Chains A and B, each alone.
Chain A
Amino acid sequence: MIRIFPSLRFTPLLSAAKPFCSSSPTREPQQYASCVEAKTAPVPNSLSITPKTPLFLRTPSHATSLSEVWKWHDWAKDLASSVEESSKNSEDSLDPVILHRELKWLIEDSIIDDPLVILHRSEIADGGEKNVKLRASLAELYDLWRQRIEKRRPFQYVVGCEHWRDLVLCVEEGVLIPRPETELIVEMVEELVTSDEQYKKGCWADLGTGSGAIAIGIAKVLGSHGRVIATDLSPVAIAVAGHNVHRYGLQGMVELREGSWFEPLKDLEGQLVGLVSNPPYIPSDDIPGLQAEVGRHEPKLALDGGFDGTDSLLHICHGASRMLKCGGFFVFETNGEKQSKMIVDYMMTNDLKDYFSDLKIVSDFAGINRFVTGFRL
């Protein structure tokens, strides 16, 4: 209960439905810029943004001799193995075992032939002379792997995609890489809609969709009847999510709207049957200490949840009371433990206390109390 007081300070601000990012311009100069742009320019910027083509979708136009590729592979393997000594005992360190796995996947994504010709040379007697078709030039592959290890660029940005549930989603800088934990949101929705067909027919919303992962996952679960509206403030996210929706042929089911949280959903007040979100929830003070891949490369707009990380979550809770129809379901991802409890406490008291029922905290596979779920009364 004590935790509620600091967040109360935000309540007037939140109920005014102001987007969070405009409240903290100094912390987010870059993101703020894009946010302002989005606000001032009535034409959505996302139209002018062309998402990058991930490695695995590029044309294999780079014929390279196998022996050269092997040389690169040896180099990359050595580089991966060498990280151990340099960064031992630090929690934020690269793990050679995982790097080797990533290297294997990088090869899978960049070669058109069987990746085995690179991984197991024994299969080819005198293959060194043979040419293989690569989807990136060898020079680029050297560069990409160096970025991965020296710059700590996330593997998913390096290859331009993330395998998430049964999807392969394009991602790039400016879009949060979907996390395995978040797969559970789709699973919860799936469970709900299989037990109650009602939820299949209504309109769902995914707030701050990023790559579009949750929206696409839910659309697939809903089947042919469903409709999902995905919003995001970032034009890059909207462009990337649009590309992903297109790739799965779900244009008819997933609609993308650019804007802050509920702003693009004004026409749907009280009509949503489901509301999901993985909003930024990391407390601002934790941002500098994040794992390098996250802190240095992923968009702060998608990570920073303000002073105690709950700014966006609380805003969404209020919005949920307005937007969901009776019996509507919601699930939000949180920073776990304290935060999820805080959100539940908040929703059971104050002016929200009469709006929701069956509030529950659901833990992720690591046992962390990750999600808050419930129904609109």
Chain B
Amino acid sequence: MSMELCVLGPLTGRSFAIAGKPNLLLLRPTTLPLLRLSLPLSLPQFSSSSSSSRLTSPSKFTSLSLSRCNLKLRIQIHIIILFSVVFAAQESNLSVSNESETSEWVMQDFYTLRKDVEIASARVEEIRDSAGLTQLEQEIANLESKATDTSFWDDRVKAQETLSSLNDLKDRMRLLSEFKSMVEDAETIVKLTEEMDSTDVSLLEEAMGIIKELNKSLDRFELTQLLSGPYDKEGAVVYITAGAGGTDAQDWADMLLRMYMRWGEKQRYKIKVVEMSNGEEAGIKSATLEIEGRYAYGYISGEKGTHRIVRQSPFNSKGLRQTSFSGVEVMPLLPEEAVGIEIPEEDLDISFTRAGGKGGQNVNKVETAVRITHIPTGVAVRCTEERSQLANKTRALIRLKAKLLVIAEEQRATEIKEIRGDAVKAEWGQQIRNYVFHPYKLVKDVRTGHETSDITSVMDGDLDPFIKAYLKHKYTLAMASAATN
């Protein structure tokens, strides 16, 4: 214990520091945030234990920690943190002592922060409660014991599945404890600040950062709760086609492509334009975008439908107001082996694009596009990006299957055979969102009513509010229909 007491030495000198012994400042650690970050798990203890007791002096506080904690290491950590806090507080006292106005602002910020922390804390509680922690732990243990079984790898596909669901559960668990430690870190800072009777701006800023980050993660976590569809976890294939109307519509399709690419970049997904057909003057006739990453399909699947733009045409010398449309189709990006359905050969109409003429040795064009139509439903896909015909056919078939699976799921059909072809057409064509650039600025989702006038941000890929609104809308609809059934 003597060692800790030694360290405590400078702490007792706090009164000197407040009184203004500037020479102590030389010792001020500059690596404060680093200290916190490396030790988040050691902190919960005092934040929960001392919530009711207002401590008057740091040495008392330390002794409280000492009494509760037997581990030397932990004590040291606490001391170091207090130590740093004191020195940091010192500095802020010195620098703002003559500017009461600023300090008032700081106090206001502090109260806001305290409130934010309280809200976040309640939110974390709630989420952790509803997540069923014990059940989660049980499931993880079950799967782990399965994975250690000697016969585990006999069925590779199944083993792969088990491992991936184990990883999912572990990720969930990790996130849940991360939320807890984050909110506790913020709580600690609040508490320390209260106990210090002084404020350290950088520390408060840090707490604010934590809360902001935490709220984002919580939003995301809640959103994934809404993503429980069988393919929601997969990557996505987004197929954009310009509607009728020439260059204006083709330019609009290009704008949508850019919007989704920006969105994907913001989500840190891996994005690839696998196919793109340029318009004659500007824009694109069509493009296929592959987005790899967890839950990409779940988020973006709601973008499927017709997108309508109203603006002054940049391609028209008179600048007339122009309405154009573009279609967006979204399919899950499924690995080949995951698409387990078989489609009878006679149900498929496979056509190959060829340059025409005599073909064979007479012609050499790298046109290897393949188009496959599922005859019973009329669902069709086209694949041009691969360099050989066979590769295009294989890829097109995977996409067709993915598309059929999604439609089957939407129609609650248990088999591909049950898909109603007539309903398919109507569904893919539904208008879902309006983007008005002129005479006023407004993006409005037809389904959810969600709207914003910040059209620039939306076109820059800021789609999350729309996506979230739609997912909630879908969820509510599903709940309602489940209730009536």
A residues apposed to B, CB below 8 Å: 81, 91, 95-98, 100-102, 105, 116, 119-120, 122-123, 154-156, 162-167, 176-177, 179-183, 278, 280-282, 286, 290-291, 293-294, 298, 302-303, 333-336, 364-366, 368, 370
The answer, yes or no, to whether B439 is at the interface (CB within 8 Å) is no
Number of A-B contacts (CB under 8 A): 111
Q: Which residues of B contact A336 (CB under 8 A)?
A: 358-360
Say yes or no: A101-B362 contact (C-beta < 8 A), given A366-B352, A366-B354.
no
Q: Which residues of B contact A298 (CB under 8 A)?
A: 364
Q: Which residues of A contact B359 (CB under 8 A)?
A: 179, 181, 336, 364, 366, 368, 370
CB distance from B214 to the nearest CB of A (A): 27
The answer, yes or no, to whether B148 is at the interface (CB within 8 Å) is no
CB distance from B234 to the nearest CB of A (A): 21
The answer, yes or no, to whether B366 is at the interface (CB within 8 Å) is yes
Establish whether residues B351 and A365, one from each chain, have CB atoms under 8 Å apart when the complex forms.
yes
Establish whether residues B360 and A370, one from each chain, have CB atoms under 8 Å apart when the complex forms.
yes
The answer, yes or no, to whether B357 is at the interface (CB within 8 Å) is yes
How far, in whole Å, are A3 and B316 apart by their CA atoms in the complex? 60
**Most chain B CB inside 10 Å of its own CB: which residue of A101, A154, A181:** A101
Say yes or no: A335-B390 contact (C-beta < 8 A), given A98-B365, A294-B363.
no
Establish whether residues B278 and A100, one from each chain, have CB atoms under 8 Å apart when the complex forms.
yes
Smallest Cβ-Cβ distance to B350: which chain A residue: A365
Question: Do most interface residues of chain B lie in helix, strand or loop, or is the interface mixed?
Answer: mixed
Establish whether residues A166 and B366, one from each chain, have CB atoms under 8 Å apart when the complex forms.
no
B265, B273, B389: the one within 8 Å of A180 (CB): B389
Say yes or no: A165-B360 contact (C-beta < 8 A), given A97-B278, A366-B354.
no
Establish whether residues B388 and A183, one from each chain, have CB atoms under 8 Å apart when the complex forms.
yes
**Most chain A CB inside 10 Å of its own CB: which residue of B261, B361, B362:** B361
CB distance from B118 to the nearest CB of A (A): 38
CB distance from A247 to the nearest CB of B (A): 16
CB distance from A363 to the nearest CB of B (A): 10
Say yes or no: A163-B391 contact (C-beta < 8 A), given A98-B367, A281-B361, A282-B362.
yes
Establish whether residues B388 and A166, one from each chain, have CB atoms under 8 Å apart when the complex forms.
yes
A105, A182, A294, A364: the one within 8 Å of B387 (CB): A105
**Most chain A CB inside 10 Å of its own CB: which residue of B277, B351, B360:** B360
The answer, yes or no, to whether B326 is at the interface (CB within 8 Å) is no
Establish whether residues A302 and B360, one from each chain, have CB atoms under 8 Å apart when the complex forms.
no
Mark B363-402 against chain A: 1 for CB-CB distance below 8 A, else 0.
Answer: 1111110000000000000001111111100000000000
How far, in whole Å, are A113 and B390 apart by their CA atoms in the complex? 26
Smallest Cβ-Cβ distance to A187: which chain B residue: B390
Smallest Cβ-Cβ distance to B388: which chain A residue: A163
Interface residues of B in 264-294 (CB under 8 A from A): 265, 271-273, 276-278
How far, in whole Å, are A154 and B363 apart by their CA atoms in the complex? 11
Interface residues of B in 327-366 (CB under 8 A from A): 350-352, 354, 356-366
